[in-house]
Structure 1
Amino acid sequence: MNIKLIGGVLAACLVSGVVFAQDPTIVEPKHYKLAFENDEVQVVDIHYGPHEKSKMHSHPGGVVVYVTEGHLKFTDEKGNVKEVYAKAGESRFFPPFKHKVENLEDKPFDAVYVGLKTKAGEKK
């Protein structure tokens, strides 16, 4: 077999493994459950119990809709911290970023994340 072909296949496997390894439904199945997915969007149900924390993961840019209220701490890969106060029924846009999450409340937190797989107006 051609060494370049083998190297290319191995490189592709490694790259795809890194991409999928950060998918929250794979890295954090306790907190993130896939509800729906197609070529355009990935819809994920989010649930954090009281004071639960996630591992580092990433989402595509998208919109989160808060099902319950909550107080969350987001820490990005550089250690920058942002606290978010979520109100039930609110929605918010998040750009793609790598982060971990901590529920700072004594009660569970639930939300739905709609991750965009394409840019607006982009055709696949």
Structure 2
Amino acid sequence: MDDSRHPTVTDPEFYRVVFENDRVRVVEFRDTPGTRTMRHHHPDSVLITLSAFRRRMTMDDRVVEVDRAPFEAGWMVEHTHIGENVGDTPAHVMFVEIK
């Protein structure tokens, strides 16, 4: 992956690395209602929600709205998108990125 497209580079005000080794990188994400990210890339990851949120994900060929409850975990395939918090609550998420 081109590290210049990693969200910690494109949107450091929202994303930060909290742990990294040769197998995984753990990234924390936080934002507030109305905020929008730059276009960025996520590798295959486990997504763990720490708060409920609603987001609009704009990918190259489609737009998807996502609602998540707190304390869910799920697989997220590699993709590139722009994210926007379209809900009423701040979002707090952890990504466990597979290297």
Q: Structure 2-normalised TM-score?
A: 0.94
Contact 2:45/2:96, CA 8 A, preserved across alignment: yes
Q: In structure 1, what is the equivalent of residue 71 of structure 2? A: 89
Equivalents in 2 of 1:107, 1:116: separation in Å? 28
Tell me the C-alpha RMSD between the 2 structures: 1.2
User: In 2, distance between residues paired with 1:34 and 1:43?
Assistant: 6
Higher relative contact order (Cα pairs below 8 Å, separated by 6+ residues): 2
Greater strand percent: which structure? 2
Match of 2:84 in 1: 102
Question: Among the aligned pairs, what percent are the same residue?
Answer: 28
Q: Does 1:74 align with 2:49?
A: no
Q: Which one has the bigger helix percentage?
A: 1
Look at both structures and tell me which one has the larger radius of gyration over its CA atoms.
1
Unaligned 5+ segments in structure 2 are none
Runs of 4+ off more than 6 Å: none
Name 1:61's counterpart in structure 2. 44
Using structure 1 for the length normalisation, give the TM-score: 0.76
Cα contact 2:41–2:78 (8 A) shared by 1: yes
> Displacement, 1:106?
2.3
**34, 52, 57: which one pairs with 1:51?**
34
Gaps of 5+ in 1: 1-15, 118-124
Deviation at 1:85, TM superposition (A): 0.7
Aligned equivalents of 1:113 and 1:42: distance in 2?
8
Number of corresponding residues: 99
* Inter-partner Cα distance in structure 2 for 1:39 and 1:59: 17
Give the SS at the match of 2:74: strand
